Amino acid sequence: MPVYCYRDDKDFIHERVYKAGKAPKEIELIDGTLAKRAIDIEIQGIGVPSEAGWPLECVASGVHAKQAKQLQDHLASKGVPTEVSKSGNPIYRDSSHRKKALKVRGFFDKNSY
């Protein structure tokens, strides 16, 4: 399914997945504000996942946005430096990096290792 981009009033881009042709013109965010569709960003291909799937922003192993810096520091201190998005999701460079980062945190992924 395609990834659609929405821009909030702070100029932050939010990505959402909808069936083709079913994306709304605006979405309501968690804080109750609205974000309008940013077709200019979609045209640039920013919201489209790479064909290889890497780098991968992992929502499943993410933390609360307030803990993003703490997670980044923790992974770096364990020898697995990892970029963490503002929303608290780790961004894995490849499958090997993902495997190491999950193992450091004590997570088990049946599809990974």
In this structure, the answer to whether residues 92 and 60 fall within a common structural domain is yes
> Which residue segment(s) compose the domain that 21 sits in?
3-44
Beta-bridged to residue 56, according to DSSP, are: 92
Render pLDDT for 65-108 as a digit per residue (tens, 0 to 9).
999 999 999 999 999 999 898 899 998 888 888 889 999 999 88
In this structure, the answer to whether residues 7 and 35 fall within a common structural domain is yes
Let me know if 33 is exposed, middle or buried by CB neighbors in 10 A (0-12, 13-18, 19+).
Answer: exposed
Radius of gyration of the chain (CA): 16
Sign of the torsion angle spanned by Cα atoms 98, 96, 44, 3: negative
In this structure, the answer to whether residues 64 and 33 fall within a common structural domain is no
Render pLDDT for 39-69 as a digit per residue (tens, 0 to 9).
888 877 654 555 567 788 899 899 999 999 9
In this structure, the answer to whether residues 71 and 100 fall within a common structural domain is yes
In this structure, the answer to whether residues 35 and 60 fall within a common structural domain is no
